[in-house]
Structure 1
Amino acid sequence: MKGSKPDNNVAAVQRLQDKIKGFPAGPGVYLMKDAQGNVIYVGKAKNLRSRVMTYFGPDAEEDPRIRDWIGLVCDVDYIETSDPISAMFTEARMIKDLRPKFNKYFKDDKTFPYLQIRTREEYPRVEVTRKPRSRGVRLYGPFTSAKRLRQAVHILQKLFQFRTCSLDIRSEEQRWRWFRPCLLYNIRRCTAPCNFRVTRQEYRRQIRKLIMVLEGKKDRLIHRLRQQMLAASERLDFEKAGRLRDEIAALEQLDLRGHLETDPQPEVFPIDPKKGLIGLKKVLGLSALPRTIEGIDIAHTSGRDTVASLVTFLDGLPFKPGYRRFRIRSVEGIDDYASIREVVSRRFRRLRDEEEVFPQLLLIDGGKGQLHAALQAFETLGLQPPCVVALAKQNEEIYRPGQSEPLVLSRHSAALRLLQYVRDEAHRFAQHYLNILRRKRITDEE
């Protein structure tokens, strides 16, 4: 290829093509690496195998978008996702974390937008924001496009007449009786709670209807708009039909969004990574900030397909290239303790053999028994463990070696929130792998 290094010859390209043939045909993110193993480009695809193969076809060197760097690629990896939307958010997350040399977008601090409803207000306002609040709101997103989201909100406002202003309206303040409503009231886009032209109960009913639409119950609404569009078309009122068509499309775009649990954007959530790390250093008595944290979780289906996940956080943020998944080999049935011993042994034996650096903090999902199982693995290997703790979900108790009583932190503690983030991400990743194996087993049985 043009611009290729001497060792990146036909045989090397053939090796990459052979590897890519084993990629899944579903959605995901791919990572291009140079000779030193550095990720130099990250991309997303609806079909990983097909998309990545195009980079190494006969016409690749003529593509002006990639010809300057494709010859530097010596390896390629992928991260499978559940759907194309998740692939988009994963791609953005990876680019922000890794800052690959040849990616142009997503390197800034800009985040995907959310739609939030301030439910604790007497007259809840509806907002499009990139900096959502942590409390007192119904939050939806992240959405893939701010423009499409605003279009959808514009249409929903015509239907439900909610306010989008920043006024702090309180029913006990009589000054609002003399407040002049804005233009949105005159064009029937808002019921003017700023002038008490709608009761609190009536306004909140409007908001409940909006929430129903945002939570998936919009089929009836779209059906009604389609009927209106067809009627307008039959009357040859093509302008109105076109407007209704666009409104339907905008409402359907509401489905193009991620989920708060599976597509987190650490930049916008109330977890402050730096505060979390400082808090962990203090409460765990560490000598330095735990810049590298690994979290382990076990998952199974009634004792079948037992798997483990390992997630890596760097400076308090997910580091996806460090994620690993394991099929448990030595355990029959349900035995979380034995499963933890196996995965900890496999992970740290490899780090030892390859002379890699241990994480500064290892988090186990579970309680005292799971913590003890992890420590047994280090003892069997003859290794000095890093700081190892377990986080029990029921009461969010932190178990530490040598301490009979768990550590209980405030639910608002930055240290606890960071541990919860690591634990929940490990759980999500384990469940995702378990679902893949379950689908594969069902397909094989059929």
Structure 2
Amino acid sequence: MELEIQIKTLPTQPGVYQYYDKNGTILYVGKAKNLKKRVSSYFTKNHEYGKTKVLVNKITTIKHIVVNTETDALLLENNLIKKYQPRYNVMLKDDKTYPWICIKKERFPRVFLTRNVIKDGSEYYGPYTSVRTAKALLDLIKELYLLRSCSYDLSKKNIEIEKYKVCLDFHIGNCKGACEGLQTATNYEQDIVAIRNIIKGNFKESLKLFQQLMMHYANEMEFEEAQKIKEKIELLANYQAKSTVVNPSITNVDVFSIVSDESYSYVNFFKISNGAIIQSHTTEIKKKLDETDKELLELAIIEIRQRFNSQSNEIYVPFEVDLGNSIKITVPKLGDKKRIVELSIRNAKYYRQERFKQIKIVDPDRHVNRIMAQMKKDLRLSVEPRHIECFDNSNIQGTNPVSACVVFKDGKPSKKDYRHFNIKTVEGPDDFASMEEVVFRRYKRLKDEGQNLPQLIVIDGGKGQLSASLKSLDVLGLRNKIAIIGIAKRLEEIYYPNDSVPLYLDKTSESLKIIQQLRNEAHRFSITHHRNKRSKGALVNELEHISGIGKQTVVSLLKHFKSVKRIKQATLKEIEAIIGKNRAVIIYNYFQKK
């Protein structure tokens, strides 16, 4: 049952999933474009391969890490397999799986593709999951900038003593001849700065120059060369410069983040070793008092680092924390470090969402209590809105004005308590007066019958509809007994009595989602009643307008034939059998003429 709930509440984002057995041993690591869909397939398919059946039978726990793209998932899967070497994964023998682009630390740096990262101060960018993409990027760089390909030691002394001579690359125009001093180190370094920007993805200016080069070839009628350039531009448009998951400049670091609600906090932990995420863990903390996120995160960092025996000397966090002087605390502001902290926050948020879904299944009371507490806080109410009623008016071109009242109890629709209202005292399409009438009728009846009043009334509309409703509550003496708000459709702003400044809730908040659900349900219920009323009126009116036909005859016909359409298609004898010959002739002739 627990495993089933874990699968049901998985996110649909790309990421990496990990299967564990009852002893907590990792069995398998896999990547997915859609985590929920991929993991579910293991438990719904009939597996012909014996080892897969055995694997599925051993799984007791599923963990996952959400990432931004499929490429990130591929790289992270690679790192975790190397770290844990799960029994059911294909073993990866070394770290040369993916290529990197290297800018060598030397005078007149070379730029080349490598699968071997050497810590000699050189710059490494990647890894690239596609060799084709990396080569296309290098080709682009070589088209735009003339770089040396030789491995000569181009020190200042060697150039001055003319130790080297220019090679074929210089003669065919692929190099500027730095070995003979024909290009300065400053000029070469300017090209390296531009290349570094291209590799990082900031290639707007360079791409513009490349497009100009393509047009130049086209104007010179060199269409084959122009086509080659075009293909490289298209490759670059689809290429991902580097992964946010792996960056060789970030080594031996712990990353922590926290998200909170009224009762619980969720802390995510990433362990980064040699530039790669090798561990992810999220824990739930129940608040005892009104602890701040800073206090909870400090406690969680100490506990989690002890649990996982972390020896990292640096920690990335979303805000300043106080952990003493022995650990370096970094709050990244931009770049890859910032993106890794953001990824940690995303994983904490997804964990919280999954916990909400799981709790909704296994502990619905706790789920309801949390939602109600959140709504009380978000909507600035004095009590939890356990009983909410929402009103909506409906009329089309002023005809058949109706209103609807829908009721939510504990955040869920209570359909047996829904009510329809036909507007009685208002002539024409007057939305304000209609709202005033139905609110008065609804709560006068509840008051007279001694029924329970709601804690919150939601009016579908802005200031006008809210003011009209308040008049009715004033007359009934309920103004201070029931909270009332209006929700406008345009920007989902929430209005309060005697307050001209609306409240804007977070678009993703559960409080706003329940208010929107109320409003949409009231609109649907109102429109349905209005449609039924118009349809019924149209049917009855057409039959009653036939001279010599009364209401009782109409009722008899509709009771038997069910619709006007069937009456039109009926024979004279079929109609005569229901209402007699004389009236049957009148109706039959009426529809025949039409």
User: Residue 291 of structure 1 aligns with which residue?
Assistant: none
Q: Match of 1:381?
A: none
Q: Distance in 2 between matches of 1:125 and 1:299?
A: 43
For 1:263, the aligned partner's letter is V
For the pair 1:216 / 2:281, whether they are aligned, the reply is no
1:140 corresponds to which residue?
125
8 A contact 2:103–2:110 mirrored in 1:
yes
1:325-361 deviations in whole A, cap 9, x for unaligned? 445734647463454346757x69xx9xxxxx88486
Aligned-pair CA distance for 1:44: 0.9
- The Cα shift of 1:201 comes to 2.6
CA contact (8 A) 1:364 1:370 kept: no
Residue deviations 1:376-413, cap 9 Å, x none? Answer: xxxxxxxxxxxxx841438xxxxxxxxxxxxxxxxxxx
Q: Conserved in 2, the CA contact under 8 Å of 1:17 and 1:53?
A: no
Q: What TM-score results when the alignment is normalised by the length of structure 1?
A: 0.61
Q: Which position in structure 2 is the counterpart of 1:106?
A: 92
Q: Distance in 2 between matches of 1:211 and 1:362?
A: 29
Partners of 2:221 and 2:242 lie apart in 1 by 35
**Hey, what does 1:443 align to over in structure 2?**
508
**Distance in 1 between residues matched to 2:219 and 2:3, nearest whole Å:** 56
Q: Distance in 2 between matches of 1:115 and 1:29?
A: 25
Q: Within 2, Cα distance between the matches of 1:306 and 1:246?
A: 50
Q: Which residue of 2 aligns with 1:187?
A: 172
Measured against aligned partners, the alpha-carbon deviations of 1:416-445 in whole angstroms (never above 9, x if no partner) come to: xxxxxxx99996775444676999965235
Query: Could you give the per-residue CA deviations for residues 168-190 of structure 1, whole angstroms, max 9, x where no partner exists?
Result: 10123246636233333233222
Q: Distance in 1 between matches of 2:144 and 2:58?
A: 54
Report matched runs for 1:161-176 at 5 Å: 161-174=146-159
Q: 1:264 to 1:181 in 2, by over 3 A?
A: same
Identity rate of aligned residues, in percent?
Answer: 22
Q: Which of 18, 28, 31 is the aligned partner of 2:15? A: 28
Compared with structure 1, are the counterparts of its residues 18 and 391 closer, same or farther at alpha carbon in structure 2 (3 Å cutoff)? closer
Match of 1:93 among 74, 79, 85: 79
How far apart are the structure 1 equivalents of 2:203 and 2:272? 38
Q: Check the 8 A contact 1:55/1:70 in 2, yes or no.
A: yes
1:173-227 per-residue CA deviation (whole Å, 9 max, x = no partner) reads: 2466362333332332222212222222322222222223223332344455457
Match of 1:320 in 2: 279
Aligned to 2:294: 336
Q: What is the match of residue 184 of structure 2? A: 199
Alpha-carbon shift at residue 40 of structure 1 (Å): 2.5
Measured after TM superposition, the shift of residue 91 of structure 1 is: 0.6
- In structure 1, stretches of 5+ residues that fail to align are 1-11, 274-293, 352-356, 373-388, 395-422
Per-residue deviation at 1:116? Answer: 2.8
Tell me, which stretches of 5 or more residues in structure 2 are unaligned? 331-336, 355-505, 514-594
1:123 aligns with 2:108: yes
2:43 matched to 1:56?
yes
Partner of 2:142: 157
Residues 227-285 of structure 1: per-residue CA shift (max 9 Å, x gap): 766887899976445422332244346524214xx4246xxx796x8xxxxxxxxxxxx
**Distance (whole Å) between structure 2 residues aligned to residue 153 and residue 74 of structure 1:** 46
Q: Answer with 1 or 2: which has the greater Rg.
A: 2
Q: How far apart, CA to CA, are the structure 2 residues paired with 1:431 and 1:207? A: 35
- Tell me the alpha carbon deviations over residues 91-117 of structure 1, each in whole angstroms, 9 at most, x when there is no partner: 111100111222225343325333232
Please tell me whether residue 248 in structure 1 is matched to residue 233 in structure 2: yes
Q: 1:255 to 1:97 in 2, by over 3 A?
A: same
Contact kept in structure 2, 1:176 and 1:195, CA below 8 Å: no
The DSSP-based 3-state class of the residue aligned with 2:16 is strand
Mapped contact 2:15–2:31 kept (Cα < 8 A): yes
Question: How many residues are treated as equivalent by the alignment?
Answer: 350
Structure 1 residues 16 and 189, CA, compared in 2 at 3 Å: closer, same or farther?
A: farther
Equivalent residues of 2:314, 2:329 under 8 A apart: no
1:263 aligns with 2:241: no
Do the aligned partners of 1:115 and 1:128 also contact (CA within 8 Å) in 2? yes
